[in-house]
Structure formats: structure tokens, C-alpha cells
Amino acid sequence: MMSDALVILGAAGIVIPVFARFRITPVIGFILIGILVGPYGLGKLVYEYPWLGHITISDPEGLEPFAEFGIILLLFTIGLELSFKRLWQLRKLVFGLGALELLIIGFVLAMFLSMMGQYWTGAMALGLALAFSSTAIVLPIAGTTSPVGRAALSMLLFEDIMIVPIVFLLGAMAPYAQEAGWEGLLDTLWQGGLLIVALLVLGRIALPRLFAQAARTKSPELFLAATLLVVIGASLATAAVGLSPIVGALIAGLLIAETEYHGEIESIMEPFKGLALGVFLITVGMSIDLLTVWDNLWMIGLAVIGVLVFKAVVTGILLRLMGARRSTAAETGILMASPSETTLIVLAAASAALLIQPGTAQFWQIVTAIGLTVTPLLARLGRIIARRVEPIPELPEDDSDAPRVVIIGIGRVGRLVAQMLDAHDRPYVAVDSDADLIAYAKRQGFNATFGDAARGDALDRLGIETAPAVVLTMDEPVLAQRLVSKLRKNYPELLIVARARDTSHAAELYRAGASHAVPETLESSLQLSEAVLVDIGVAMGPVIASIHEKRDEYRAELEQDGALDYKPKLRTSTAEN
């Protein structure tokens, strides 16, 4: 087992930097490493060349718990990026779009497989299994803030919720355990419901106190230990009543996202999530037998292409019917086309229930593994097709070396900031992930471009390293706080001005590293005060002076509330007035 750990760590040390150098997702690298060091790769030659045992995986089954832990950590970090309010806002997409996508794809695939000769129970199991899409690979690629990311997240959340009912349904369809299967499903539903309520209540009471104590110690190790305790405890609790452990992990993430410590926890957990996810991808690669693929090349190739094309078309049509743009529907449909790591779980359950033959299960496991391998390529293809069906402005090619203010968000507030910069001859570029806003802003003459600011490469290509300032204008408090924290960490001297929803949000932004946080409620109050004072006869000069004085007074209080104990050395532009 020690040699297996060294192989995995060595693979991570090679794959991540090499693939990052060529701007290729490490997903493909980990899967290829799994093929190479697995039992169907170099593992076959160990008996002839014993030294290969030091660079191959000797116990593939022993990696499965670590692979499952990688998925648990992934769902936990997804929960950290969400909030209960945002989850509630997505409810129509989750239970509308998500349910339609899973049920329609599963039903049609089941009908097709039944016509091809598969018994109807096995056809239903295979159809539902192949309808799942990969949470582990799709969300790191798409994120959760762009239109594509939000659509994918809603469908994937519903799929994650449906894992347990589907596994119980397959158990109930087994010829030897129908009654026990239905009784087990009912028990799990009521016990799981009570447990989730208990976790929500207990978490809201206990978690802020737990992490406050960890914060007082100023020990990252204790923060990590407390976080793992919460994640593992919630996952074990949901697993104990028959629910999937990823449900507990997601709830743990949502609860911690409501605390002020979620940013610190997210940064601490990121390396562990990446390594654990790498272990999962290596196990996927180890399940691919290249000789079997070669012997059944045409059948496997047709199955992979058929599943990918069918799922992409159905998902794209559903998104269009739900009102999504053509580009969003096309990109999301193609991205969601491959099967999932959950497909492997459902296939195993169907095989154990004797609904499908072992050979059939192995065939579709290979199809699933290949589908997972090509998912990053599908993501790139989806972006290309999305630009073809509905062209989106590319990032600008600016020949000028002059630093530009970067405006994140080109809505009402962003356009006003851009107008003021224009009025004082200050160059800027605005970026937004909403193609409608970009198109409108460009028609109005603004220097705006499409991009997801949550992805580091978008801001890099806009010249963030030389920008005199970054202005965050979006009305998304959680995303704004995460971006401020990320920008401050990467660019300590950058001037960061952020729009805040209210004074408490402004204090959070100051804690995250904002140079200035401007609460909407405060500015509205000051403008109302100015209007009434002038209209009742007070001279304009004293009114403006008192407004500035009150604004500075409030700003000082907010900085103090936000525990702002430093002032970054801000960049200065070389341009002259």
C-alpha cells in the first residue's frame, strides 16, 4: 500500500505541472496514468519484470475508499460555493430541468436498449445509469457562477439527490428482494429526512462556535481537523441511515458557507480535494482494458458516440425549452453528455441485483470510463460550437501597454463606473459572464468583453497584473467576497473597490481584503439626505462637505468592523491627468 501511495503522489507531481504547462486539464492526465499503472497496463508485466511493481498499483480495490473520499470532498466544496438562499433560487431548475433531463434520457435509453434485446428491468437500470453526468469532472470545468455552470449545477444536484432512490429501486426490482427493497426505501426516506433536519439545526448552532474556537488558536492544522471532522461526521451520519455520504458532505458545505469562516476553509481544503479527485480519476483509468477496447472497438465506439450525441441533443433541447440561450444550451448539452462516476455505482448495483449480466456491466463500464476521459475534450468542443451557433465577443486584443482599470460586471452599476472613467480619460475594460449584458453594453459603446472572472485566466488575459484598480460591481455577495479574497491573495498591492449590498456585507468585504467597500444602502441614504437638505434651502457647499464627512465616518466604522488592520500599498498608474 505504501508503494501505491508513492505512485499516486508521483503521478500528481508529474501530471499537474506538465498538463498545466500545456494548458490541458489534468483530468486526462490522471486517467492516462491510471491506464498505464493499472492492472491492464504495466501491471500485466509485473511477473515478468518485478521492478515494475514499484511503479504500478498493486491493490486497485484498496484505492476505492480514497476515490469515494475525493467525491465527498468535491461535493463539500460545491456546498461551500453555494448558500441556502442561492440553492432556493435554483429550486425550479433543480426539480424542473434536472428531473426532466434525468427521466427523459433514462426512459428513452431504456426503451432503445429494450428494443435491442435487453430485458426491461436491465434496460431500465442501464438507461438510468447512463443518464447521469459527472459531478466530479463537469463542475470543476464549468464552475457554478456562469450560465453554463448554473445549468449544469442544477441538473447535477438533482442527480445527486436521486442516487439513493434509484439504487433502492434497482434493489426492489431484483427477483429475490422486491418487498425488502421497497420497505428499505421507505425507511431510508423518513430516517434520512429526520437526519437532514437534525443536521441543519445542529449545524447552525454548533458550527459557528466550533470554528470560532479553531480561529482563536490561529492554527491552520486545527482548522483542517475541525473541517474534516464536520465533513466526515455528516457523511457517516447520512450513510448510516442509507443515504449517500455525498448528501451529508453537501449539507456540511452549505452550513459552513453560512459562516464567516468559509473562505479560509475553502482555501485549506482545495489541495486535498484535488489530490483525492486525482485518486478517483486514476481508478477510472485502471478500469479501462485497452485490449478489450481494441477487440470490441466498433461496438464500444458506437456506444460511446451514441450516448454522447443523444444526451447532448436532449439536454440542449430541454435547456432551450426552459429559455436558455442557444450558446448556453449547446455548450451545456455537450458538456453534460458523458456518463458519470455515479454510472459506475448504478451499474454495480444493477449487476448485484442480477438485473444485468457481468459481461454487459463490464461493457458499459468501459463506455463510461471512455466518456469520462473525453469530458474535457467535450468541454472544449462545446465552447467552440457555442461560439458558432451564437457568436460571443472574444477577449480584446489591445496593442496598448497602458494599464487599464478592470470592471467585473457590466450591469447598471458597472456601466456607470465605466462612464465616469471615460469622462476622466481613464482606460478600462469590463468583463461579464452574461452574454446578453455584453451585447447590450457593446451596442452602447462600452469596452466590454465576455469572460468568467471566477476563472483566473480570464483576468490574466485582461492585464490584471498591471491594472491600477479592479472594481467589482456584481450583485452576488458570495462571489464578490470570494473574488476579493482571491485577488488580495494574488495581488497584495492591487486597489480593489467592491460594491456591497449593505453595511454587514461591506464589513465582510473589508475582511476579505477590499480596499474600499461601498454599501448600496449607505449611498442611498446619503443621496436622500443631500436632496432634502438642498431642496429645503441649505447651501450646496456645506451640504456636500457634510456628506463627504459622514461618508468618511461610516467608512472608518466599516473598516474597524471588518477588522481591517492593514492598508495595502496600492499601485499607481503611470498615466498623467
Alpha-carbon span 247 to 128, nearest angstrom: 19
Please give the torsion angle defined by the CA atoms of residues 293, 298, 301 and 305, in that order, rounded to the nearest 10 degrees. -170
Alpha-carbon span 105 to 127, nearest angstrom: 7
Alpha-carbon span 43 to 416, nearest angstrom: 62
Nearest to 429 by CA among 394, 405, 397: 405
Lowest-confidence pick of 141-145, 428-432, 474-478, 515-519: 141-145
Alpha-carbon span 197 to 110, nearest angstrom: 35
Output the pTM of the full model.
0.60
Number of other residues whose CB lies within 10 A of the CB of residue 398: 13
C-alpha cell at 380: 472544449
Alpha-carbon span 130 to 123, nearest angstrom: 11
Distances (CA, A) of 527 to 522, 544, 547, 548: 9, 10, 8, 11
Mean pLDDT, residues 54-75: 72
Report the 3 state secondary structure along 247-277: HHHHHHHHHHHCCCCHHHHHHHHHHHHHHHH
**Are 37 and 55 spatial neighbours (Cβ–Cβ below 8 Å)?**
yes
DSSP string, 56-77: S-S-GGGGHHHHHHHHHHHHHH
Decide if pLDDT at 118 tops 70.
Answer: yes
Helix, strand, coil percent content, the chain, rounded in steps of 5: 70, 5, 25
- 302 band by pLDDT with thresholds 50, 70 and 90: very high
Is pLDDT larger for residue 21 or for residue 441?
441
C-alpha cell at 123: 434496460
> pLDDT for 345-365, tens place per residue?
788 778 777 788 888 888 888
Alpha-carbon span 221 to 325, nearest angstrom: 45
**What's the distance, Cα to Cα, between the start and end of the chain in Å?**
66
Alpha-carbon span 142 to 151, nearest angstrom: 10
Q: How many C-alpha atoms does 139 have within 13 Å on its Cβ side?
A: 25
Decide if pLDDT at 59 tops 50.
Answer: yes
Distances (CA, A) of 89 to 66, 93, 329, 549: 33, 9, 20, 39
C-alpha cell at 563: 477588522
pLDDT of residue 311: 94
**Are 504 and 521 spatial neighbours (Cβ–Cβ below 8 Å)?**
no
DSSP string, 347-364: HHHHHHTTSS-HHHHHHH
> pLDDT for 464-485, tens place per residue?
888 899 999 887 777 888 888 8
Mean pLDDT, residues 276-296: 77
How high is the mean pLDDT of the chain? 77
* Helical axes 341-352 vs 147-173, angle rounded to 10°: 10
> pLDDT for 31-53, tens place per residue?
778 888 777 777 777 777 777 76
432 membership: H or E segment, kind and range:
strand 428-432
% pLDDT > 90, the chain: 7
Decide if pLDDT at 108 tops 90.
Answer: yes
Domains belonging to the chain, first-starting first, are 1-58 (no CATH), 59-389 (1.20.1530.20), 405-561 (3.40.50.720)
% pLDDT > 70, the chain: 78
> pLDDT for 225-239, tens place per residue?
888 888 889 888 888
- 306 band by pLDDT with thresholds 50, 70 and 90: very high
Alpha-carbon span 252 to 396, nearest angstrom: 41
Nearest to 567 by CA among 499, 514, 531, 507: 514
